Amino acid sequence: MDKFWNSLADLDRRWLFALTFLAISIPLLTGIVLPQKVTPMVENVFNAIDELPSGTKILMPLDYDPSAEGELQPMADAFLRHAAQKNHKIYFMTIWPTGVAMIQRQVATLKKEYPEYVYGEDYVNLGYRPGYEGVIKLITSDLPKLYGADQQGTPVAKIPMMADIDNIKQFPLIVNVSAGDPGLKQWVQYAATPFDSIEIVGGTTGVQASTLYPYIPNQMIGMIAGIKPAAEYEKLMFEKYPEIEKRPNSNMANVFMTSQEVAHFMLIGIIILGNLVMWQTSGRRDQS
């Protein structure tokens, strides 16, 4: 028995890497989806978009990069599909240089799944502006001052849906997806908190969530933190708008969630095993 525990104590970490690989990849390849229990916060975020009258102006800043895409893209897609389903007017922008490409993905999804959405009338891509939270501060008072043109260089004066936009106080809701600073925290601090007319919901990575919980519910309606709430959001969306479920890759959060579920249980097993090994071998190692 001692030999068994000692061999575990000296376990080559490549076995753990292989186990991790299998735990993550098998559920992804099988595409199995597990049932989700929707939490109240996800319901609040869903309702924030769903209860707005059709055609409401929504500001959608996408402040993330490819490294967080695996976790954030499913929720960004869910927000987009939900907003488009409600015929909301979508204003894309980003304060991350890499966010431009993330917006491009969203625009591509819109063009493919909602061909009736017309650029300049139903959605606009304002692109990236440098200045981090300085951008947010400025557009709370004067948006055209910073955004003279959209991402393609078209003057905002020539974009119909920008005609009556002076600042972001004219957006009843901000839907931000962010992977760090500047991101959701700054949108809450500089846009949603000082102005009662602006509400905010967000999507963020699991690791960032702990710093954002203190803003809920007074300064932020709620947030989707990680893949699990994103999967719950998809479930709510499919229940209300079943046609979305038929679209390709519309349930990515649910597929990813199965993978995460197996990986979490694997981690729990590894932690317990690691501690058992420690308890079984520490006494003997001390003696030796």
Partner 1 sequence: MLKRTIPLIIASIVGIVLILAKFSHPIQSWETEVVMWFDILAVFAFVLGAGNLNLNNLKKISERKAGWGYAAITLLAFWITLICGIGKLGVPPNEKYLAYAWSGSYEAEGSAFWWIFNYVYVPLAATMFATLAFYISSAAFRAFRANNVEASLLLLTALLVLVAQTSSGPMLTDQIPEESAWAIFKIDTIRGTLVNLFNTLGTRAIMIGIALGVVSTSLKVLMGVDQSYLGGD
Site membership for partner 1, residue 129 (CB under 8 A): yes
* 120 binds partner 1, rule: CB under 8 A: no
- Residue 271: count other Cβ atoms within 10 Å of its Cβ: 10
Which residues are bridge partners to 89 per DSSP?
A: 57
- The strands making up 173-178's β-sheet, listed across from edge to edge, are 123-128, 89-94, 57-63, 173-178, 199-204, 222-225
Single out the segment in contact with partner 1 by CB under 8 A; choices: 42-50, 61-69, 195-203, 239-247.
61-69
- The single residue among 44, 274, 280, 281 that binds partner 1, judged by CB under 8 A, is 274
Establish if 263 lies at the interface with partner 1 (CB under 8 A): yes
Task: Tell me if 7 contacts partner 1 by CB under 8 A.
Answer: no
Binding mask 220-239 for partner 1 (x = CB under 8 A): ------x-x--x--------
Residue 117 or residue 132: which is nearer to partner 1 going by CB?
132
Q: Nearest CA to 97 among 122, 63, 68, 72?
A: 63
Does position 208 bind partner 1 by CB under 8 A? no
119 near partner 1, judged by CB under 8 A: no
Considering only 214, 240, 247, 249, the residue that binds partner 1 (CB under 8 A) is 214
Cis geometry, peptide bond prior to residue 217 (ω within 30 degrees of 0): yes
Nearer to partner 1 among residue 58 and residue 230 (C-beta): 230
End-to-end CA distance of the chain: 17
Under the binding rule (CB under 8 A), the answer on residue 16 touching partner 1 is yes
User: Between β-strands 222-225 and 199-204, what pairing exists: parallel, antiparallel or unpaired?
Assistant: parallel
Q: Which of residues 23-42 bind partner 1 (CB under 8 A)?
A: 24, 34-37, 39
Q: Which of 113, 146, 170, 219 touches partner 1 by CB under 8 A?
A: 146
Nearer to partner 1, 122 or 150 (CB): 150
The residue ranges that bind partner 1 (CB under 8 A) are: 11, 13, 16-17, 19-21, 24, 34-37, 39, 65-70, 98, 100-101, 104, 129-132, 134-135, 137-138, 141-142, 145-146, 151-153, 206, 210-211, 213-214, 226, 228, 231, 257, 260-261, 263-268, 270-271, 273-275, 278
